[in-house]
């Protein structure tokens, strides 16, 4: 086993080195592109032919592959727009939207976000959704390995003897990306996407834009504000990635917080023994969860839903407690009745791979190049084992999700340092128990932007907390978007809101698809910042 791992590492390293040598040089992060003569961004709007949103317009924006070479090769960014309907004197210009990922499509947000706001606020903006370069509706559309997540995969736990298999899998994936997208990969950092955003602004003919982003979108928004502070009107960051942390260390924070959220789930289930009949002891519920995992590892359901697939399905509950009733039903049905029906439904909703979804490709492309990653696997092995002792639930799942960065073509750089200099006051939102973007990151961003206002959901465990039903959180958002009104300055935290209540324990059975209860309020299902 050790010998075969060594061969895989050597081959991947050689492949990465050859590809990296062939790639054009990357402009230094934070450096303004040199010259724009001859390039003028333009949007040719056409109807999206969306029957539910007939006013929605679509376009493809040509942008430079390399913003340091504006007259060089071009790629296309998918953009859509729900135009303002307010009288001309009441319009506030464009607001760009991003849901995170990196790599999740932002096109759904243009009609969705204003539908959740008061009519006067919705009417006053041009709502702009877009897909990041290299992903979804943009061109080219990355597809390194559409079957990378097909199950059952090797067990995430190295104790199962799967380290070699996963290393070969991660190295092969990185090599596939390098071979297919050698020209594109050096130009998929956050700063490249941010310059695309400014080209969208220019194409819209706007002197300033506003921005509203969740999760990785907070990295986009804060970086845009750092590089182009004079072009920012309003800036909303919800569920915040720390402004300076490396992506490797961001994952460590996630591991520790996901462990807490998993234990919060088992405690909730233990209090609902009358519904799920899994016992009243949270530790006992946790043991049953791991027993189910072991069983699926030996005998995957339908030959594809194994231990890893159960991990990925459960992960959705770490992003949104609204999914807890379904996940508890899955555990109870399988444990008490050997019934895998609810598992099939939950897996298909939360974790089943979609060959047409390339968000994982851009996730790697951005994160592996945005900051420096350890390239010595012996460091990973030792460090992740240390973390696993504190956070067994998520550590190795998260490790293998990111392991391609060990082999990624080209070296990682450094994230743009955020100071808030020259920015108007931003509005920041963070839940204290968020597992994907940990509370500490919100605190760090509030300190990095000293004239911002920081709104905290105390005890909240949801990821992306605005427009999700908590009126205390939504009011400052609406006030700020309406006329720039901010909460009064009360120090680091300017407004604390009580958390949204945990869901009522209910049995979520298997019914016809049309009759299935919805536990999602928006297309932000099981994704990582991930």
Q: What are phi and psi of 254, to 5 degrees?
A: -60, -45
Residue 199 among the catalytic residues: no
Burial 33-55 (b: 16+ CB within 10 A, else e): beeeeebebebeeeebebeebee
The tally of CA atoms less than 13 A away on the side-chain side of residue 72 is: 14
**Which listed residue (434, 474, 494, 519) is catalytic?**
434
Block residue for tokens 């299935």? 516
Cβ pair 315, 526 in contact under 8 A = yes
d(CA 322, CA 327): 10
How many C-beta atoms lie closer than 10 Å to residue 374's C-beta? 13
Burial 324-343 (b: 16+ CB within 10 A, else e): bbbbbbbbbbbbeeeebebb
Residue 474 among the catalytic residues: no
Residue 196 among the catalytic residues: no
Cβ pair 13, 178 in contact under 8 A = no
Block residue for tokens 């009519």? 119
Tokens of 297: 């590892």
**Which listed residue (258, 452, 463, 519) is catalytic?**
463
d(CA 391, CA 258): 8
d(CA 160, CA 14): 28
d(CA 78, CA 67): 17
Cβ pair 67, 33 in contact under 8 A = yes
Per DSSP, 515 falls in state G
Helix, coil or strand: residue 49? coil
Q: What are phi and psi of 214, to 5 degrees?
A: -105, 150
- Which neighbouring-strand residues pair with 63? 75
**Which listed residue (105, 215, 239, 369) is catalytic?**
215
Q: How far is CA 275 from CA 68, 306, 333, 362, in A?
A: 60, 26, 11, 41
Which distant-in-sequence residues (6+ apart) come within 8 Å of 79 by Cβ? 43, 58, 59, 60, 61, 128, 129, 130, 131, 200
Distance of CA 480 to the CA centre of its chain: 24
Cβ pair 178, 15 in contact under 8 A = yes
Per DSSP, 404 falls in state G
d(CA 91, CA 86): 6
d(CA 49, CA 449): 41
Q: List the alpha helices (DSSP H) in 81-162.
A: 109-115, 119-124
Report the run of H or E that residue 288 belongs to, with start and end.
helix 282-298
Catalytic residues: 215, 434, 463
């Amino acid at each position: 086993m050790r010998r075969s791992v060594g061969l895989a590492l050597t081959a991947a390293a050689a492949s990465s080195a050859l590809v990296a040598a062939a790639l054009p040089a990357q402009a230094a992060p934070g450096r303004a592109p040199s010259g724009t003569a001859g390039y003028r961004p333009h949007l040719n709007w056409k109807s999206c032919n969306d029957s539910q949103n007939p006013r929605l317009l679509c376009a493809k924006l040509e942008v430079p592959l390399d913003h340091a070479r504006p007259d060089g090769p071009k790629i296309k960014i998918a953009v859509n727009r729900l135009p303002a309907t307010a009288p001309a004197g009441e319009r506030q210009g464009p607001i760009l939207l991003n849901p995170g990922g990196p790599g999740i499509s932002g096109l759904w947000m243009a009609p969705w976000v204003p539908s959740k706001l008061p009519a006067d606020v919705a009417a006053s903006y041009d709502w702009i959704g877009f897909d990041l370069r290299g992903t979804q509706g943009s061109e080219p559309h990355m597809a390194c390995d559409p079957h990378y997540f097909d199950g059952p995969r090797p067990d995430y736990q190295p104790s199962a003897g799967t380290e070699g298999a996963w290393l070969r899998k991660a190295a092969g994936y990185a090599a596939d990306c390098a071979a297919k997208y050698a020209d594109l990969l050096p130009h998929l950092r956050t700063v490249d996407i941010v310059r695309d955003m400014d080209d969208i602004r220019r194409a819209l003919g706007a002197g300033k834009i506003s921005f509203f982003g969740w999760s990785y979108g907070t990295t986009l928004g804060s970086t845009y504000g750092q590089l182009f502070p004079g072009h920012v009107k309003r800036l909303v960051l919800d569920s915040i990635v720390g402004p300076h942390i490396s992506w490797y260390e961001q994952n460590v924070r996630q591991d520790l917080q996901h462990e807490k959220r998993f234990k919060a789930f088992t405690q909730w289930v233990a209090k609902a023994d009358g519904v799920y009949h899994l016992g009243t002891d949270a530790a006992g519920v946790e043991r049953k969860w791991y027993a189910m995992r072991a069983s699926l590892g030996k005998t995957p359901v339908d030959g594809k839903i194994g231990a890893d697939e159960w991990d990925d399905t459960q992960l959705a509950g770490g992003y949104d407690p609204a999914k807890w009733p379904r996940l508890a039903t899955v555990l109870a049905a399988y444990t008490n009745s050997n019934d895998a029906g609810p598992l099939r439904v939950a897996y298909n909703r939360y974790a089943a791979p979609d060959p047409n979804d390339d968000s994982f490709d851009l996730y790697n492309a951005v994160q592996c190049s945005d900051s420096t990653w350890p390239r010595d696997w012996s460091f990973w092995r030792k460090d992740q084992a240390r973390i696993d002792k504190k956070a067994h639930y998520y550590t190795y799942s998260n490790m293998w999700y990111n392991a391609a960065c060990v082999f990624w073509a080209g070296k990682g750089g450094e994230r743009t340092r955020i100071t808030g200099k020259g920015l108007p006051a931003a509005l920041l939102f963070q839940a204290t128990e968020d597992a994907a973007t940990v509370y500490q990151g919100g605190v760090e961003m509030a300190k990095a932007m000293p004239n911002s206002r920081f709104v905290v959901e105390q005890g909240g465990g949801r990821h992306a907390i605005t427009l999700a039903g908590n009126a205390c959180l939504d009011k400052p958002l609406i006030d700020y978007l309406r006329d720039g009104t901010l909460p009064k300055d009360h120090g680091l935290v300017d407004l604390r809101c009580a958390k949204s209540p945990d869901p009522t324990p209910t049995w979520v059975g298997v019914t016809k698809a049309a009759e299935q209860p919805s536990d999602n309020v928006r297309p932000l299902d099981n994704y990582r910042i991930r």
